[in-house]
Amino acid sequence: MNGAGVPGLPGNPPMLGGGPPTTNGAPKMLTAQVADPEPLPQIDDSKLLQIMQQAYERSKTARETRKRLNRRNWDALHGKFDFLAKKKPGQSMIVIPSLETSLEQVCAQLTEQLVGFKNWFTASYEGDVPPIPGLDADEAAKVLGIELERLAVDSGCMPTTYGMHRLVYDTLKLGLLESEITWKVSMVADHTPKYEMFQGEMVITEEESQRLRVDLVPFEDFFPDPSAAKQYMIHEIEVPVSELPELGFTKEQIDQMRHASPGTEKLEEQRRRAGMAHSIPSPLHRVLLREFWGDLIDPQTGDLLARACTFMTAATTYVCKPPQRIRDLYWAGLRPFIHVPLLPTPTSELHHAFCDIAVPLVEAECELFNLLADAGFHSALGVREVHTYKYENAEDAAKGIVAGMQLNRLPDSGDQPGIVKVDTGTLTQDMQVVYDRIARTRQEALRTNDLQLGG
């Protein structure tokens, strides 16, 4: 559920009717798809690539400032601050886990308030009512509630209980750090083994049904129109080459897509979110795909070519899925994305994240705490000076005196001590007052007291 999946691709249209899987197989289509009155115009691949690249670069440029703040927030969550790189051996390098702990509390409290009870949502039909006799909105809500508690996950693994409770929890954590929440809703095939007796032997077959899937899309993989018109949305995904035949691509198409590798930028973003700089190996045999959802606008004249369409490119080199009406894929004809800011800024296309204000306070709190710790040690132990001319191996104490260290005195070095305490250190009251004030300000920024009171 990390946004790297490929549900809802134009090559995998969902079956109409929906509903939970049954023992009778996938639900059958009760009526034909709604035909659009105007056929799609013929658009050259070169123009489609221009439309994709122009929209992608425009959105990427507009989101660059927010992207830098997101990187800072992720580094702070994993305890990576700039002041730690300036520390010398022997100085404290303690990171207070206040940000991570506060985020866990915020996400847990909000998740319980949103989906922590039985009847937490209602449903109604949007647009045309699907041709399912006797299925009113209340009945559809019950079916949807069952599906939301058994969301589809990546195939090849044991079934899990990944439902809305965990999805909302993960979504809130991502939104608190990145300011935006993006879901991609789709239906994927679910293969269930079926056991039958045939001529006295057990035969295992597969039964295919459709299952609801909600992917949580990271900020770096989603590129919406930065203007108020919201004419397009672009979803950037990585796909293993081995899965391309299942998506409907031919061998010739796959050969043309092989050079559309994701590069190192995506890997760096995954490592930053994981907090492990060198633990994630570079993936092999993967291609970078971009899905375009929205209105096709001529890149030279600005004229409208077609509304509510989708197509796919392999990076910026090859159109691997031609344009298609969204209504041919989804009954409502709407884009399969839910994209909202967690803390919206009115009349703005970029929004603040919950952690934007808290992160500098957490960094200041950690840095001052390390200074207090060092001052406390110095006050108790003091600073000692080693007279190197009185010892044979004085270079062993170049990085400090540790327990069990032995220094050999030189002959005729005198009776005066060779290690002298020259300073007792200073732990002022002002430092403690400032630290307490920063801690209270950080609690206010993270709404810690409000959440504890149920606000």
Question: Is pLDDT larger for residue 226 or for residue 15?
Answer: 226
- pLDDT of amino acid 18: 34
pLDDT at residue 92 in the model? 83
Residue 378 domain flag:
yes
Both 267 and 374 in a single domain? no
Mean pLDDT of 113-119: 84
Residue 285 shares a structural domain with residue 382 = no
Q: What is the tens place of the pLDDT at every residue in 140-155?
A: 888 888 888 888 776 5
What is the rounded distance in angstroms from the CA atom of residue 395 to the CA atom of residue 410? 14
Is 70 exceeded by the pLDDT of residue 45?
Answer: yes
pLDDT category, 173, cuts 50, 70, 90?
A: very high
The pLDDT score that the predictor gives to residue 423 is 63
* Residue 3 located in a structural domain: no
* pLDDT the model gives residue 435: 80
Q: Are 323 and 269 within one domain?
A: yes
Q: Which of 347, 367, 389 is the last residue of a domain?
A: 347
Domain enclosing residue 340, as ranges: 45-67+95-347
Same domain assignment for residues 340 and 363:
no
Q: Does residue 218 contact residue 178 with C-beta atoms inside 8 Å?
A: yes
Give the pLDDT confidence score for residue 26 in this predicted structure. 36
367, 414: one domain: yes
In a domain, 287, yes or no: yes
What pLDDT score was predicted for residue 320?
Answer: 86
Q: Tell me what pLDDT residue 30 has.
A: 42
Q: Is residue 89 part of a domain?
A: no
pLDDT of residue 23: 33
- Check whether residue 276 and residue 412 sit in a common domain: no
How high does pLDDT run on average in the chain?
79
CA dihedral 73, 341, 266, 363 (to 10 degrees): 0
pLDDT digits (tens, 9 = 90+) for 394-420: 777 776 677 777 787 888 777 777 777
* 225 pLDDT higher than 90: yes
2 versus 193: the higher-pLDDT residue is 193
177 touches 355 (CB < 8 A)? yes
Give pLDDT, residue 420.
76
Confidence of residue 231 (pLDDT cuts 50, 70, 90): very high
DSSP string computed for 14-74: PPTT----BTTBSPPP-SPPPPPSSPPPP--HHHHHHHHHHHHHHHHHHTHHHHHHHHHHH
Chain CA centroid to CA 397, Å: 47
Mark which of 288, 320, 347 sits at the end of a domain.
Answer: 347
Say if residue 325 is in the same domain as residue 404.
Answer: no
For residue 20, is pLDDT > 50?
no
pLDDT band at 21 (very low <50, low <70, confident <90, very high): very low
**Residue 293: both structure tokens together:** 């959802």
In a domain, 13, yes or no: no
The verdict on 295 and 419 lying in the same domain is: no
Task: From 323, 347, 371, give the residue that closes a domain.
Answer: 347
Query: Is position 79 within any domain?
Result: no
Residues 332, 213, single domain; the answer is: yes
Model confidence at 48: pLDDT above 90: yes
Instruction: For residues 297 and 364, state if they share a domain.
Output: no
Which segment, 18-22, 117-121, 426-430, is predicted with the most confidence on average? 117-121
d(CA 345, CA 405): 60
Residues of the chain above pLDDT 70, percent: 80
423 in the same domain as 446: yes
Mean pLDDT score, 196-203: 85
* Tokens, residue 186: 């789709």
Domain assignment present for residue 248? The answer is: yes
User: pLDDT, tens digit, for every residue of 344-399?
Assistant: 888 888 898 988 988 988 888 888 888 888 877 777 666 677 777 788 777 777 76
pLDDT in tens, 301-312: 989 999 999 999
* Domain count along the chain: 2
- Same domain for 371 and 331? no
Higher pLDDT, 260 or 240: 240
Residue 43 has pLDDT above 80, yes or no: yes
Q: What percent of the chain has pLDDT over 90?
A: 21
Give domain status of residue 416, yes or no: yes
Q: So what's the pLDDT on residue 56?
A: 94
CA gap 52, 175 in Å, rounded = 26
**Of 17 and 64, the one with more pLDDT:** 64
